[in-house]
Amino acid sequence: MRNRLASSSEECPKGGLSIKIVLGLGNPGRFYQKTRHNVGFVVISRLARKMGLKFDKKYCSSRVAEGEGIVLAKPYTYVNLSGKAVKALLQRFSLSPEEMLVICDDVALPLGRIRIRRKGSDGGHNGLRSIIKEIGTDNFPRLRVGIGREGIRDLVEYVLGEFEKEEMEVLEKILDVAVEAVECILKEGIEEAMNKYNSLNLLAETG
């Protein structure tokens, strides 16, 4: 499969290494399917449908969709152990951390916003923390989808809960925006995507 992915020395249109693998974080099983913590799964599922790809392969503790020059993956290790699957996938395809994009939820970011970064800390996200621990670096791109709001009392209960009915309109829009942002990253590069999407606030627009 490595031969189907572009050389790691290939640069994206705006500089930097191009993305060869996109990972959406979430928890497996119907119980978690509609929870806030699973927006990474939702975004990458929508991306796969838009690209005409199917998650019809299983390896490295992940569901995998393979395209020409790109791999999409959903680690099925549960969010807190995502790093084990990510490390195995990078090794399988001989990729560097800079060549992967991780999509996850962000409770510190309000619903209606996304944030794209080239690298950075885990920001309190256990999945990112696991990845950083397993691969030994925080130097990899990530796209965070905001799920936060004011007045959260129990963080675990909140992220493992489902979205409220009144949140669905904004949620649907921001999920579509997140897919567009990933496509922009793949085609135009991280910098262009950050400039286009990091300042977007759908909640303010609909409010």
Q: pLDDT tens digits, residue range 110-122?
A: 999 999 999 999 9
Told to judge if 125 belongs to the known catalytic residues of this protein, a careful annotator would answer no
Catalytic residue among 20, 36, 37, 129: 37
Which DSSP letter does residue 70 get? E
As a whole number of angstroms, the distance between CA 186 and CA 193 comes to: 9
pTM of the model: 0.91
Domains assigned to the chain: 2-206 (3.40.50.1470)
End-to-end CA, the chain: 47
> Mind listing the pLDDT tens digit for each residue in 41-100?
999 999 999 999 999 999 999 999 999 999 999 999 999 999 999 999 999 999 999 999
CB-count exposure of residue 73 (10 Å: 0-12, 13-18, 19+)? buried
